[in-house]
Amino acid sequence: MTETRHARRRSELLPALGAAPYFVFVGVFLLLPIAVNLLTSVRTPDGVFTLEPLLRLGEEQYRSAFWNSTQLSVVTTVIGGALGLLLAWALATTQRPAWLRDGVLSFTTVASQSGGIPLAFAFVALLGTQGLLTTAIAELTGWNLAETFRLSSFTGLTVVYLYFQIPLMAVLMLPALSGLRTEWQEAAASLGAGRARYLKDIALPILTPATAGALLLLFANAFSAYATAYALAGGGANLVPILVGFFVSGNVMMDYSFGAALSTGMIAVITVAMVLRWLLTRRTTRWMQ
Amino acid sequence: MNRTSTILRIAVLLGAVSFFALPFLASAYFGFTLPGRGFTFEPLMRLATGRSAFWDQLGRTLLLALCTAVVGSALLTSTLLWLHLRARKLLPIAEGLSVLPFVVPPVALVMGANLFFRSIYPGFLTHLLSLVPFYVIITMPLMYRALDSGMLALDLRTLVDAGKSLGARRLRILIQILLPNLAPAMIASSLICVAMVLGEFVMASLLLHNTFPVFLAQAGQDNPRAAAALAFLTMVGTWLLLAAVARTLHTPRRPQ
């Protein structure tokens, strides 16, 4: 009896052992740091449980940082989502000219992964005070763009974020749009449905979960972006990732608990978005076989 | 399809191309010209020569990219092979963990890592190579998927059984059958990883490691033209890497 039980236990233990390096690695370099972060945000330096750091997130400066980050994320998600959907539609339905479609597709894939410092400086070269477009407009019309438009402002960050949000939406929606079969439209037409009816009753319901899921990913993407905003606005932008960065780099590292609380708040926002996305895409995959 | 929708589609595609191309073109023009001088490498040369930290910091980033690709590939390939062949039950858990970095922004991971390692091993984060495990973590969601789909496409069990029936030992099956067949997926995932590490700024700058993106950010303060030139070269380099990924994955393979 015990022999077989031992044997069975060993046969269950061995598989887990082979995967142990992976689980240990993820544990040490991802799970434990997050756990320590969460714990630190609900403890005083002496180790007593407290909600005070998390409650301080409600203070004016930090509330406005969360508000700014949310606004920036929502605006770039809505505009980027709409334009990205349009682009995905154009990519999915265009057959010719093939060079144009393939060229745009390749550009789209690369742009969706862009961001960070290089993108910020490329936009400075385009729209900064001495930027190419700024000087071109000034020469042609005498109007100085730089007086009304700054890359470090909310509008400026929105334009730069759209550079990766639009193509990201297109890349995410392309499989779903290509999955719409032409037979469905023909079947609907043979039953007497017009184009509008087909869109409203068939295409939209099928695409809704995928679209919502993609929008949530865009939101999370914008909410956690750090490098682009940092390069364009330096410390000037009152955004959550920038504030967390201040606490890490030691400018204000006096208060570990509060820095951890900021970071906990940020993880919480993104977790909500990603859990919603997971729930929605579970439904889509059933349809998109 | 009627004409209006064709025109609209072409217009959308052309509009997208112009928007995507403008920052590229602007950074190339701004970075490689000087007022009244025309095309020149001068801003770039001034940045890369003399007592510049350019080569040092580029070298550090290349070292990090190499180490991350090697460590990430080794860890994920061996784990995934093991899970697919020996422990399929654990696959869902491993996959769930692999997408977790999507929920944790790099800036939050730095915060947690800083708090955690400061308390158990304060010197750890001051080593340049301490970035490698965290880079493996942030590149993991994409690497894991690339490798996993490569393995799903292969029917590993049949390959292993075929090898066994021909009398091959485990090591030989691994080296002569599995790894050659997995090579495209491994190369693609490593290239993705390199592309991400070349652009990673948040963790390096906050943990005070002078990598290439940190150099670029600094250059932007003092020398916008040279920074634009470097930004252009970086974006083109990333593009080439990702194009290579697409090629590796889509070239039809003959079974080996």
For residue B172, give the CATH number of its domain: 1.10.3720.10
| Contact between B110 and A248 using a beta-carbon 8 Å cutoff | yes
Q: Is residue B69 one of the residues assigned to a domain? A: yes
CB pairs below 8 Å between A and B: how many? 258
Going from the C-alpha of B161 to that of each of B121, B146, B154, B166, the distances in angstroms are 46, 24, 13, 9
Phi-psi region of A234 (alpha: psi -120 to 50; beta: other; left: phi over 0): left
The reported pLDDT for the residue numbered A269 is 93
The reported pLDDT for the residue numbered A284 is 59
The reported pLDDT for the residue numbered A287 is 53
Residues of chain A in contact with residue B227, where contact means CB-CB under 8 angstroms, are 121, 124
**What's the pLDDT tens digit per position in B137-153?**
999 998 998 899 888 88
Distance CA B137, CA B251 (A): 28
Closest-CA residue to B139 (of B193, B86, B90, B175): B193
**What's the pLDDT tens digit per position in A217-244?**
999 999 999 999 998 887 778 899 998 8
What is the tally of structural domains in chain B? Answer: 1
| Contact between A116 and B134 using a beta-carbon 8 Å cutoff | no
pLDDT of residue B58 exceeding 60, the answer is: yes
Q: Is residue B104 one of the residues assigned to a domain? A: yes
Question: How would DSSP label each residue in A35-67?
Answer: HHHHHHTTB-TTS-B-SHHHHHTTSHHHHHHHH
pLDDT of residue B232 exceeding 80, the answer is: yes
Is A218 in contact with A169 (CB distance < 8 Å)?
Answer: yes
Q: How confident is the model at residue A289 (pLDDT cuts 50, 70, 90)?
A: very low
Weakest-pLDDT range from A34-38, A129-133, B205-209 = A129-133
Angle subtended by helix axes A32-40 and A256-287, to nearest 10: 130
Phi-psi region of A142 (alpha: psi -120 to 50; beta: other; left: phi over 0): left
Q: Spell out the residues 6+ positions from residue A225 whose beta carbon is closer than 8 angstroms to its own.
A: A115, A161, A241
The reported pLDDT for the residue numbered A54 is 86
Q: Is residue B35 one of the residues assigned to a domain? A: no
| Contact between B235 and A103 using a beta-carbon 8 Å cutoff | no
Pairing, β B38-39 against β B33-34 = antiparallel
Percentage of chain A modeled with pLDDT above 90: 34
Q: How confident is the model at residue A285 (pLDDT cuts 50, 70, 90)?
A: low
pLDDT of residue B185 exceeding 50, the answer is: yes
CA dihedral for A228, B102, B188, B69, sign (positive or negative): positive
Q: How confident is the model at residue B76 (pLDDT cuts 50, 70, 90)?
A: very high
pLDDT of residue B50 exceeding 80, the answer is: no
Q: Which structural domain, as residue segments, surrounds residue B162?
A: 53-250
pLDDT of residue B35 exceeding 80, the answer is: no
Reading the block at residue B183, the tokens are: 């090579």
Percentage of chain A modeled with pLDDT above 70: 92
Backbone angles phi, psi at A43, to 5 degrees: -135, 145
pLDDT of residue B256 exceeding 60, the answer is: no
- Which A residues, 43 through 72, put their C-beta within 8 Å of a C-beta on chain B? none
| Contact between B83 and A19 using a beta-carbon 8 Å cutoff | yes
Closest-CA residue to A267 (of B112, B108, B185): B108
Distance CA A257, CA B200 (A): 26
The reported pLDDT for the residue numbered A247 is 86
The reported pLDDT for the residue numbered A55 is 84
**What's the pLDDT tens digit per position in A95-150?**
778 888 888 888 888 888 777 899 999 999 898 888 888 888 888 888 887 778 88
Burial class (CB in 10 A: 0-12, 13-18, 19+), A156: middle
Is the predicted ipTM greater than 0.85, yes or no?
yes
Which has more confidence, A15 or A59? Answer: A59
Distance CA A168, CA A162 (A): 9
Q: Which domains, and CATH codes, for chain A?
A: 60-287 (1.10.3720.10)
A78-87, B30-39, B167-176, B238-247, range with greatest mean pLDDT:
A78-87
In chain A, the residue whose alpha carbon lies closest to the alpha carbon of B138 is A30
pLDDT of residue A11 exceeding 80, the answer is: no
Q: How confident is the model at residue A196 (pLDDT cuts 50, 70, 90)?
A: confident
**Cα Rg of chain B, angstroms:** 23
Closest-CA residue to B113 (of B195, B200, B189, B202): B202
Distance CA B32, CA A20 (A): 51
Closest-CA residue to A18 (of B78, B98, B61, B45): B78
pLDDT of residue A153 exceeding 50, the answer is: yes
The reported pLDDT for the residue numbered B181 is 87
- What secondary structure, in 3-state letters, does A239-283 show? CHHHHHHHHHHCCCCCCHHHHHHHHHHHHHHHHHHHHHHHHHHHH
The reported pLDDT for the residue numbered A257 is 84
In chain A, the residue whose alpha carbon lies closest to the alpha carbon of B106 is A224
Q: Is residue B34 one of the residues assigned to a domain? A: no
Residues of chain B in contact with residue A100, where contact means CB-CB under 8 angstroms, are 10, 13-14, 17
Average pLDDT, chain A: 85
| Contact between A22 and B75 using a beta-carbon 8 Å cutoff | yes
The reported pLDDT for the residue numbered B134 is 95
pLDDT of residue B6 exceeding 50, the answer is: yes
Distance CA B156, CA B37 (A): 61
Q: How confident is the model at residue B170 (pLDDT cuts 50, 70, 90)?
A: confident
Q: How confident is the model at residue A78 (pLDDT cuts 50, 70, 90)?
A: very high
**What's the pLDDT tens digit per position in B88-116?**
888 889 988 998 888 899 999 999 999 89
Burial class (CB in 10 A: 0-12, 13-18, 19+), B249: middle
Backbone angles phi, psi at B38, to 5 degrees: 80, -155
Distance CA A219, CA A81 (A): 10
Distance CA A222, CA A96 (A): 33
The reported pLDDT for the residue numbered B70 is 95
Q: How confident is the model at residue B5 (pLDDT cuts 50, 70, 90)?
A: confident
| Contact between B107 and A16 using a beta-carbon 8 Å cutoff | no
pLDDT of residue B254 exceeding 60, the answer is: no
Reading the block at residue B39, the tokens are: 């095309």
Q: Using a CB cutoff of 8 Å and minimum separation of 24, what contacts does A127-133 make?
A: A127/A151, A127/A156, A127/A159, A128/B224, A130/B30, A130/B224, A131/B26, A131/B30, A132/B25, A132/B26, A132/B29, A132/B30, A133/B22, A133/B26
- In the numeric block, the tokens 């809505």 are attached to A78
The reported pLDDT for the residue numbered A74 is 96
Which has more confidence, A6 or A118? Answer: A118
CA dihedral A107, A112, A118, A120 (to 10 degrees): 110
The whole-angstrom distance between B174's CA and the closest CA on chain A is: 15
